[in-house]
């Protein structure tokens, strides 16, 4: 039994669009995979950058604590100098 000509035309009309749709879907999935990979890499870089910035902030906080302590000693020394100068003025 031979398949009529109109049946081949009907099948070709269905098969070609389905093949084009399948290929387009495959390409779109590949593009989404690439985008997802880029986002994951970007997230990893940002995470590493954030960790290094956290370390920098921690180091700055330690430095600020040391500076605060030094400033307190300076303030005490200045107050002692002021009291010595006042005593000298009063003694004259």
pLDDT tens digits, residue range 33-85? Answer: 999 999 999 999 999 999 999 999 999 999 999 999 999 999 999 999 999 99
Q: What is the pTM of this model?
A: 0.54
Interatomic CA distance for residues 67 and 75, integer angstroms: 12
Residue 13, pLDDT > 90, answer: no
pLDDT tens digits, residue range 20-45? Answer: 999 999 999 999 999 999 999 999 99
């Amino acid at each position: 039994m031979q398949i009529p000509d109109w049946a081949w035309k009907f099948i070709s009309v269905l098969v070609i669009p389905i093949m084009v749709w399948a290929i387009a879907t495959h390409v779109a999935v590949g593009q989404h995979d690439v985008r997802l990979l880029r986002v994951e890499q970007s997230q990893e870089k940002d995470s590493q950058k954030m960790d290094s910035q956290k370390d920098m902030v921690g180091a700055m906080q330690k430095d600020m604590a040391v500076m605060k302590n030094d400033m307190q000693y300076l303030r005490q020394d200045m107050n002692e100098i002021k009291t010595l100068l006042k005593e000298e003025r009063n003694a004259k």
